Amino acid sequence: MVTAASGLTLQVLDSPGIPCADAKALVGKFQAQLAGKQPAGSTQPASATVDGWLCVSGPPASQGGTSCSLDDKTVFASVAAE
């Protein structure tokens, strides 16, 4: 689990070819970059590049998750049920 910049809890999903610890670290670094930029009530997505990966966070107001892509690899994190 990773805490999103919005305060929501994200569950990093299994990604073929990417160790779980690496996927979790990537999502954590991305969310740390968004700190203060995407509040919980936001209706806008946010994006940034982390270690060469393009990451996008969906709007927190609609329970948007996170995806990070690099070449043919993708990491997904969904909003965990409270």
Q: Could you tell me the pLDDT band of residue 82, with boundaries at 50, 70 and 90?
A: low
DSSP assigned state of 7 = S
pTM: 0.91
Res 67: pLDDT: 96
At which residue do the structure tokens 């690496």 appear? 22
Q: How far apart are CA 78 and CA 47, in angstroms?
A: 16
